[in-house]
Structure 1
Amino acid sequence: MSEKTFLSENSLNYFSVLDYGIFIILVLLSAFIGIYFGFISKKKQNNTSEYLLGSKQMGFLPIAASLIASHISASTLLALPAEIYTNGCEYILSIFSAIITGFALIYIFLPVFYGLQLTSAFQYLELRFNRNVRLCASVIFSMSGIIFMPVVIYVPALALSQVTDWNLHLITMSTSILCIFYTTIGGLKAVVWSDTLQLILMIGGIVSVMFLGINVMNGLGNIFDIADKGGRLIFFNMDPSPFVRTSFWTYFIGLSFGWTAKLGVSQCCVQRFLAVPNMNVAKKAVYVFVVGYSFIKISCVIVGITIYSKYASCDPMISKKIEKIDQILPLFVMEVATKIPGLPGLFIAGVFSASLSSMSSSLNTIAGAIYEDFIRHNYPNATEKRASDVMKILVLVIGAIVIALVFVVEQMGQIFRVCFAINGLSAGALFGIFSAGMFSRTINTKGVLAGALSSISILLIIIVGSFTLQKPPSLPISTSGCDFPYNNTIIPTTVQTNTTQDVFIIFKLSFMYYILLGTIILFLVAIPVSHLTGKCEPFDEKLLTPILRRNIKNTPESNGVNNNNTKEKDYELKIQENRLL
């Protein structure tokens, strides 16, 4: 069956003319923002300061909106409700993870990066260790971003192909070209302001669907009653086993750690926080981010429960209305929202906006990282205009690679799990590298490189084994309310879950612990390797997190820094060489 799935066979409504109009206009607005900052604005994007940091004059609201939008991808808007439908609403506990992440940003990581004022977060690693560590981290970050972006593109394309006559691959290509276009010519300002517009569309789309669904299903009371009977109201599964797919602890520990890793040392986030005038503005951006991020996540959870209440007696996968569970939200929208003119178009525009914001953010950030870490030092006399042009070319090249990788994403499983796997493979090692620099005085360059290689290698084996040997679990589903021949069927959990006892236990690890495990592996390898290969390289106290700076004495013996004038001058010179002037 084609990607059009069973929708076409049942003659469900496609987009109306109004839906097409709303969708096209709203998506093209993002392109106009890029055109404005690339050609019309008085401050052209022809130097690295403008292109990467927006001249450091961005306000906290657009920066917070950009952070939210770039981390609320289409995979969140579509895959999260699907996750709630299949596995219950325990994801609501992620609100605690958002709060913990906010505190970690403000008190641990941001003070270090903001104090140094570097263009790239990876420049920190050259100051703390050496250039090899910086390049290693930059490669890991760039590769993971390039692998993740096709997922971001594929998910909304799947939704749009479901409600239109458009070919899936034509959609992915045209969407990517649009995003590459406005990111290339507009730089960070275009990314941030288009993210702000796209965030408004995301919120408008998901909130509209949420309230419409609540109304159609006769209120939250009825929705929760149905969800409770179906076993979807799961809030505090206190099973401490790390091999349980999800529990209170996987969210409170695993997800909190994962989000801190994604936000605390991510180049995407560091670049945005450095685009504001001072640290107080950066803190305000964090506060707004935590509130906005939590609101959208909670809204997606409510939408997921609402979807379950509608299909509780007739699962659309079993009844062949959809082929992939990630298509369940567009199906729900087209079945309940077509009576409101333009709402389907607004919703799909919101989904696409999530995709565009995530992709544009990654393109801009990865291009900047590659230029700063691999190209700039080879051309020290290059003009700022030439540097900006090189980064624009990098955006085009990366975008072309991402378009080609979309064909691979089609063969993967449920997007929610896939996203965690891709992030876990790289984020654990990256977070471990930065944490080793900020929290340890003994880990050296050889230790951190050995730890990073071990972390990625072991995680890759675990992730491949998990996806190969185990099917994702699911709560019971039913088709008792469907028409013949799908009626009177109940599919219990055991049918969809691989219960094979001979699967090696490490492959059963919850995917929410991947990032934490990757970080632990790095430290377990880095500490003994550092001990065996000599002392840690001298470094300045400014490279430690403020929590440690306040609790140590600034003496040569305590911090390992050679305080003679030559070393101090060398350090300051190194800072100046790495800082964007």
Structure 2
Amino acid sequence: MEILDWIVLSTTLFFIVVYGVIKTKGSATVKDYLLDNNETPWFTVGVSVMATQASAITFLSTPGQAYHDGMGFVQFYFGLPIAMIVIAYTFIPIYHRLKVYTAYEYLEQRFNVQTRTLAAVLFLIQRGLGTGITIYAPSIILSALLGWNLTFLNIFIGVLVIIYTVTGGTKAVNVTQKQQMFVIMSGMFITFFVILAYLPEDVDFSNVLHIAGANGKMDILDFSYNPETRYTVWSGITGGFFLMLSYFGTDQSQVGRYLSGKSIKESQMGLIMNGLLKVPMQFFILLTGVLVFVFFQFNDAPLHFNPTNVEKVLQSDQKKEYEALEAELNQINIDKKVVNQIYIEQLKHNAYDNPTLRKKMIALSLEEKELRNDAKEIISKADNSAETNDKDYVFLYFIMNYLPKGLLGLLLAVIISAAMSSSASGLNSLAATSSIDLYKRNVTVKSEKQYVVATQYFTLFWGIVAIGFACVSSLFENLIQLVNIIGSIFYGTVLGIFLIGFYFHYIKGKAAFYSGLISQAIVILIFLKYILFESNESEKLGYLWLNLIGVLLTIVLSFLFQKIINSKA
């Protein structure tokens, strides 16, 4: 990194932290600390909701996902706009009418304290893990880039977030997320156009789409009914819908964002804004990853994108074996440039469909993929503890090696800002749930100030827990999938409980509690048997379906339990 990159990075982060502390100091009541005194306008609600979901994982992992697998991941978000409408006109009016601080307070009023506690604990488990991952993601970047200790970086980023989140609560989260979102989107748009500018002069955006399409990267819609396929239109609209309904409707990290709205209408407008902008935003980020793929059709791509793994293998007995694969890839890189240049020339004459060239391009991509898989096996021989999946390093590799001075610092600021915004929401929601649903429910405190102090201590506690989990994290398949898999394990059950509360008045507390408990145990068993212990190529179930399974199990079991309870009465 150059001096200019350091200046851009440090200035951006310093401004966000200091601004958050100065603007939000001194909350005297729990309502002010957790709900920003219900003074948040709709636009801030919308930005905060988007920034909470758009973690560093989004900007680190999504482009790599598109580089390897194309645009199909966008189907994951197809259920989001529908979920926003349902939440805006069903969940929000109920939460505001009951004047709750957390979503789980509603469950005690509707069912009993056991059901409220169960939902709160499930949330604390999955959000505690998820917040750790959002801290871990940018630490990977800086560790690979600067050679700094990964544990130190986890602590450093976590402490930055803790400073202003403890001080200002929800208001600090809302205020800083506007600045963070501005930095994030500015950086991504600049990068997008920089990549376009780096392509050969005769390669315009239309050519980019043709090259990507010829390589299968623009296959956006999959209408197949195969449950083993992770991302299809149907899994996105069904499983994705229930995941988003649960995440935005029952996850306190999101519920806390719109509970702080000035009114029901302001909160609804903020959510609808998110529903309108989120899918286009994800499409754009994926398209940036596809652009990186096209860039490497005209520039030399590395055999492996994780520089740490490459360094290890080149210092091992497998060095010659690895270098032989690199030589083969160099020839493939040369062939790709030639084929793609011929393809561009034909595009100039409107010859859009050349089966021979397309077959050659696909064949080269398959050869390259086989070489990369062979390289992963060699890396495993050199270090059997190494994580060989390098999807999360694709975008990192590009920005490290090709961005101009200053822009590298901005992109790092983008990724760290995203991590901070998402982590701050996570810590704030964890503290709110611990304070309101567990502490306040069981401990009598004399003053509002004492509750505020207790919530600040919970923020600090969960910050330490998240940092601790970040320090022991390792890559799964890639980070964006890992965080969604963790959510999918728990969200279905929690959402099922809420849907019972909203729509099935026949079902009472005991039935809801036991159905939630058993449903969660079954979902975990299904995950272990059909997903975790299967390879990515042979897993028997796409993880998005866990959300639908959890919802249906909870609702069906609750009806059965209620019938049994009624029959004994």
* Band the TM-score falls in, shorter-chain normalisation: 0.7 to 0.9
Taking the TM superposition and a 5 Å limit, the aligned residue runs for 1:355-370 are 355-370=419-434
Q: How many residues align?
A: 485
Taking the TM superposition and a 5 Å limit, the aligned residue runs for 1:465-484 are 465-472=529-536
**Does structure 1 retain, via aligned residues, the 8 Å contact 2:491–2:547?**
yes
**Does structure 2 retain, via aligned residues, the 8 Å contact 1:203–1:296?**
no
Whole-angstrom distance in 2 between the partners of 1:468 and 1:81: 24
SS at match of 1:176: helix
Aligned match of 1:512 in 540, 544, 549?
544
Equivalent residue for 2:235? 250
Whole-angstrom distance in 1 between the partners of 2:434 and 2:568: 27
Equivalent residue for 1:574? none
Equivalent residue for 1:103? 85
SS at match of 2:544: helix
* CA deviation after TM superposition for structure 1 residue 444, in Å: 2.1
* CA deviation after TM superposition for structure 1 residue 161, in Å: 2.1
Aligned match of 1:328 in 394, 397, 408?
394
Aligned match of 1:287 in 249, 262, 272?
272
Whole-angstrom distance in 1 between the partners of 2:140 and 2:488: 24
SS at match of 1:380: coil
CA gap of 1:179–1:320, structure 2 versus 1, over 3 A, is closer
Equivalent residue for 1:562? none
Equivalent residue for 1:424? 488
Determine whether 1:533 maps to 2:560: no
Over aligned residues, Cα RMSD in angstroms? 2.1
Equivalent residue for 2:244? 259
**Does structure 1 retain, via aligned residues, the 8 Å contact 2:488–2:546?**
yes
Whole-angstrom distance in 1 between the partners of 2:48 and 2:567: 41
Deviates more, 1:309-318 or 1:203-212: 309-318
Equivalent residue for 1:485? none
Deviates more, 1:385-394 or 1:309-318: 309-318
* CA deviation after TM superposition for structure 1 residue 317, in Å: 4.9
Code of the aligned partner of 1:521:
L
Aligned match of 1:385 in 419, 440, 449?
449
**Does structure 1 retain, via aligned residues, the 8 Å contact 2:39–2:262?**
yes
Taking the TM superposition and a 5 Å limit, the aligned residue runs for 1:137-536 are 137-217=119-199, 218-312=203-297, 316-318=302-304, 323=309, 324-338=390-404, 341-410=405-474, 412-472=476-536, 497-498=537-538, 507-534=539-566
Equivalent residue for 1:53? 35
Percent identity, please.
22
**Does structure 1 retain, via aligned residues, the 8 Å contact 2:80–2:240?**
no
Whole-angstrom distance in 2 between the partners of 1:271 and 1:396: 18
Task: Tell me the TM-score normalised to structure 2 length.
Answer: 0.81
SS at match of 2:226: coil
Equivalent residue for 2:98? 116
Deviates more, 1:458-467 or 1:444-453: 458-467
Aligned match of 2:11 in 18, 21, 25?
25
Residues 330-381 of structure 1, C-alpha deviation per residue, up to 9 Å, x if partnerless? 111223312xx31111111111111101111011111111111111134434
**Does structure 2 retain, via aligned residues, the 8 Å contact 1:230–1:312?**
no
- Name whichever structure is richer in helix by fraction: 2
Residues 424-483 of structure 1, C-alpha deviation per residue, up to 9 Å, x if partnerless? 1111111011011111122222222222222222222232334543332xxxxxxxxxxx
Task: Tell me the TM-score normalised to structure 1 length.
Answer: 0.79
**Does structure 2 retain, via aligned residues, the 8 Å contact 1:46–1:388?**
yes
CA gap of 1:99–1:24, structure 2 versus 1, over 3 A, is same
**Does structure 1 retain, via aligned residues, the 8 Å contact 2:71–2:283?**
no
Taking the TM superposition and a 5 Å limit, the aligned residue runs for 1:85-100 are 85-93=67-75, 96-100=78-82
Whole-angstrom distance in 2 between the partners of 1:416 and 1:378: 36
Aligned match of 2:113 in 125, 128, 131?
131
Residues 28-85 of structure 1, C-alpha deviation per residue, up to 9 Å, x if partnerless? 222213321454xxxx213201100111111111121111101101111111112112
CA gap of 1:38–1:252, structure 2 versus 1, over 3 A, is closer
Code of the aligned partner of 1:295:
P
Q: Structure 1 unaligned segments of length 5 or more: list them.
A: 1-14, 473-496, 499-506, 538-581
Larger relative CO (CA 8 A, sep 6+): 1 or 2?
A: 2
Code of the aligned partner of 1:145:
R
Code of the aligned partner of 2:4:
L
Equivalent residue for 1:547? none
**Does structure 1 retain, via aligned residues, the 8 Å contact 2:492–2:546?**
yes
